[in-house]
Structures are given as structure tokens and as C-alpha cells.
Copies of this chain bind each other. A is one copy, B any other.
């Protein structure tokens, strides 16, 4: 991976930052956030402006370019990757380390007095705008919206915004019709006394209408907004996608409908003017509900007195609690996914050990090939992290020809991968050794496993927020002075985004919504040694009610059920470091893998992979 040379681009950007063609007054700094106009984590190529200007293409990062400097903020997952991808024009700002300044503090320290800081108002979320604007103002500077995106002005070969066909999902997948979802949303709106709800997040639009798309790689979403009134539904979407008879039928566009369920289809680009019209027509006490992460541009379209902003929308919260159809779909998807991985690992053992011809890219492709053989497979759910040896320490590594290593019997191999099936989304990490792991590698792996089990087996009261469980995942590592610089888990969508709110397991958040039965999150502690190896053990787990001996204040308890059923390599476990309880957990888990995945491998006639599964799920024996 050689860094992108950005000298010329930065020069051009600094020119347009001063050009009266684009800015009323010159801006002394320009902020390039990660997201798109929907604050998506995964974005379409046309929205990869931060990667274009800097070379750094990780999923999280904010670039700021001033007349003199260019700086990039990103988190611990990406320190190594960003350092590799950016040239010397860029300063890496390692978020989460004590001495790293915030973007605001840094700007204040480098800007000349009375500076203007520009940003695209469609890309910056309203809450970030507010925080940044306040900090800059108090230091005598101004945050200003720059209507034309300045990166786009210098990005001569910028790709077109995608506009791909839609997939309709019937009740057997979604459990609830889009009409019933609208009814539930309107009842939440009535509770809060708001008249309008603006759907800005792409996965929320998709979920609400039981539609899926493929405008963004890995995330089955499509570019659209929706504005839901108490009697109106407006869907802002481009292209001829609404001409598809299946979509018209699904949305009942041609039926005689009660007017409150009649969908008005409007051009994607008309959202701002339509919303401004809504805002202009409001009477006192009439409110419009938006996410506080909606773009500054859309938020500003509604006069301040009429805005009702919340960190999580009612759609986000409803979407997180999977219903029985969705849960069953997720189970099926994870069984198919496990079949593919058993095939893969069996194949790897046969290829890596004697031949030594399998590279990270070949392994990733093979994983995709096995997954694509499964029913209802759509695409991968994120770029496969197939990494061996030192590449494993790059937390969100993606193999490219320049970095591609060959798997060997001497190195740890880490595979973090997942897929979109029509019935569910998967995300699983396994760390394997095809030779003989060292005692130190086994020790580290076992601490990570203890953390994984501590979360997976945790019992906690109803109403507990996920961030309160994060330390359980770290305790065994902490005892030995080790740790990892990322959160422990994220929400997972149901044939939707592999990362979704409003719940998760991380020391970094506090505003997460309480966990409740039906939510689905990942459990993925790790340990990484720069230049040597990476270890991560990840299952997707379902929040379920727990039976407990007592029931304090009648609150009820919750725990997790692993949906991922892929063996955890016992060769990597130092069984003497496990408690008997932890040892039993591993054996019970492997027993379940054997039963459930074994039956499916049998059904699919995959006998060699079945033999591999049986071998890999032999019970651990702990000598007390």
C-alpha cells in the first residue's frame, strides 16, 4: 500500500477555498467529513470525498485542510491503515489518545484570528455542526456552509451517483407490512405531538418501506428520503426504479388507497425545497421530527422553533428490535453462513498446509464463493478482512495486491467476513493457526476468548445499556496489562447495514439505548500486536430473556444467544487459563455448532466439511 500523492490536489483545493466562484468569502479551513448526505457509514464511490483528497479510505475519519496544514482524525482501528495510505502532506490525529487535540481545539490553535471554516451543509450532521460552530465562535472564528462541495469541484473524474433496481421484501421476511410500520410511526409521532417525520438515514427508508437496494456496496440500501405526515407519505427517489411493476405492486402505487397510505413519489433532489415548504407552512406548536444527526442543510430547512430532534429516531429503535420473522431469518442466514465457513476452513487446511499457495485475497475470494452458493445470497456485508501475520494487527485491513500475504503454517490468520442474505445479515470473525501456535499466541487468544465468553454469557437486568458490558470483555486482558483499542460490539441489521444503532457494546458511548430482547449485536473483543499478529473472536448474538434464580424488583433479566455457529479453533486455546465454567461454555457452543450446522452440512451433502466440523468441535478437557 503506497500512499496517495496529494500535493497537487491540496493545492487545487486551497485555490477553490479562496475562489469567489465557490465561496462568498475565502475559507481558511475546509472540513471533509466521512459521510454522505444521509450520514451513512458505508458510502457510494461518488461520496468518497475524504478518500479522494487524502488517500485514506477507512470507514471513519474526518479531514481538515487549512492554508498550511492537512490533518486527518481517525480512531484506533485505522491508525496503521491511515498512516500507510496518506503522504507527508497529512498529519494523522489519533482519536482516543490523551494528547490528540479535538478538531475544534486544533482549528483554534492553527487558524489566524477571525477565520472562516467551510463545510458542505449536506454532509455535516446538525449535532456536529452545532458543537463545532459553538467552539469556533467562542474562539472568534465562524463555521460557514459552502453550498457547492469543494471536493467535487476539483474531482474531475468523480463517478455518478448510483441508481440501481430495488428488491421488494414480503411479509415472510419482514414480519410487518410497510403500512403497519407507517401506522406505528404515526402513533409514535402522535405521542410526541409532532406532525411530520423526516426519514434521512438510508437504512431507515429501506426498513420502513420493506425495500432493499444496492446503491451502496455491502449495504442493501438505495438513495432516497421520506417525509411522513399524519396523512401523507412522500418518497424522494430518482431513476426509473418506480417503474418496476413489482415495486409498484409492493407500494400499491396504482391501487385505490386510503389517502393516508398513498405514496407521493418525488425527485431525490427536491427534498430540500419540499422540506422548506413544509417548514414555511407550520403553525405554532406544529413540530417536525428529525434525527439530530440529520444534515445541517435539512435541519436548517425547518425553523428552529418547529424542530423536534432526538438522537435516535423511532424507526431506528423499532428497527433494532427484531420480530419473530426477522429473528428466524437471521438464524437461517447464520446457519448458511456457517456452512460456507466450514467449507472454507476445511479447504484452507487442505491448501495452506501442504501447498502454501493461498494468499489473503484468494482466501477472501474463496469465502465469497462458498457464501454465494447458499440460498438467498445477495452480496457481502462488508469488505472481507482476510489478514495473516502482521496484517492482522491492522484492525480494519482489506487485502490489496500490494499488501497481499500468503497464508502459512507459521502465522496467525484472522478472517472477519459476512454476507447479506435475503433473510439476514452476518458478520463473523475467526482467528486460526494452520501450524503450531506459540504459547504466547495461545495465551493472548485465550484472554480474548475469556472476554468473548464474559459478554456472551453475561446476565444483566432489563434496561441495561450495552456500554455497561464493555469492561467484561476486557477484564481478562486487563489483568495481564493488555487491551484493544476498539469497541466490543455493534448492532446488526436484518438484511440491512452490518453496523446499526441504537445499541452496541462500547466504552465510548453512553447515549446508547438499553438492550432489549430481540436486539442483535456483535461480540468481538480482540488483541493486536503491531507488526506481529491480530486476534479477534466475533459472534453475532441475539438478546434473549434470561431465567434467573431471583428477580429483583420484578425487572427481569437478559442474556445473549449466539446466532453465529462456527467452531472456535481449540488449538489456539490454552485450556489451563479457562475456568471450568468457560470450558463448559466452549463445549456447549461446539456441541450446538455440531448439531445445527452438522445437520445442514449433511442436508447439503457437504460431507468433507462435516468431517472438519466434527473434528473441530471435539470437547475441551480441563484438568482441574
A residues within 8 Å of B by Cβ? 98, 138, 305, 458-461, 463, 468-472, 475, 477-483, 507, 510, 546, 548-553, 555, 557, 579, 624
Are the CB atoms of A459 and B478 closer together than 8 Å? Answer: yes
Q: Is the CB of A552 within 8 A of B483?
A: yes
Closest B residue to A579 by CB, please name it: B579
In the complex, what residues of B have CB within 8 A of residue A579's CB?
Answer: 579
Chain multiplicity (copies): 2
For A461, the closest partner residue in chain B by CB is B483
Contacts of A548 in B (CB 8 A): 479-481
The answer to whether A507 touches B475 (Cβ under 8 A) is: no
- In the bound assembly, the distance between CA atoms of A469 and B471 in angstroms comes to 7
**Contact call A98/B478, Cβ cutoff below 8 A:** no
Contact status B468-A552, CB under 8 Å: no
Tell me if B550 and A507 are in contact (CB < 8 A): no
A-B CB contact pairs (8 Å), 22 listed: A458-B478, A459-B478, A459-B479, A459-B481, A460-B471, A460-B478, A461-B483, A468-B470, A471-B472, A472-B475, A477-B552, A478-B557, A480-B549, A480-B550, A481-B548, A481-B549, A481-B550, A481-B551, A481-B557, A482-B552, A483-B555, A624-B624
The 6 A-B residue pairs whose C-beta atoms are closest, nearest first, are A481-B548, A510-B510, A481-B550, A480-B549, A482-B552, A481-B551
Alpha-carbon gap, A555 to B471, bound state (A): 17
| Complex CA–CA separation, A469 to B463 (angstroms) | 18
- Name the residue in A98, A472, A483, A552 with the highest tally of chain B Cβ atoms < 10 Å from its Cβ: A552
The residue of chain B having its C-beta at the shortest distance from the C-beta of A554 within the complex is: B481
User: Chain B residues with Cβ under 8 A from A138's Cβ?
Assistant: 305
Closest beta carbon of chain B to A448's beta carbon, Å:
13
Contacts of A510 in B (CB 8 A): 510
Closest to A444 in B: B550
| CB closest chain-B residue, reference A556 | B481
- Cβ-closest chain B residue relative to A468: B471
Closest Cβ–Cβ distance, residue A139 to chain B (whole Å): 10
Task: List chain B residues, Cβ under 8 A from A480.
Answer: 548-550
Instruction: Please state if A482 and B550 are interface contacts (CB–CB under 8 Å).
Output: yes
In the complex the two chains form, what is the Cα distance from A510 to B305 in whole Å?
30
Q: Across the interface, which residues of B come within 8 angstroms of A460, CB to CB?
A: 471, 478
CA distance A487 to B478 in the complex (A): 22
Q: How far is it, in angstroms, between the C-alpha of A481 and the C-alpha of B479 when the chains are bound? A: 26
A417 to B468, CA, bound (A): 29
Q: A98, B468: Cβ atoms under 8 Å?
A: no
Query: Which chain B residue shows the least CB distance to A551?
Result: B481
Give the shortest distance, in Å, between A463 (CB) and chain B (any CB): 6
| Residues on the B chain within 8 Å of A478, using CB | 458-461, 557
Which of the listed residues A463, A469, A482, A624 has the most CB atoms from chain B within 10 Å of its own CB? A482
A309 to chain B, nearest CB (A): 11
For A463, the chain B residues whose CB sits under 8 A away are 98
- Kindly list chain B residues whose C-beta atoms are within 8 Å of the C-beta of A471: 460, 468-469, 471-472
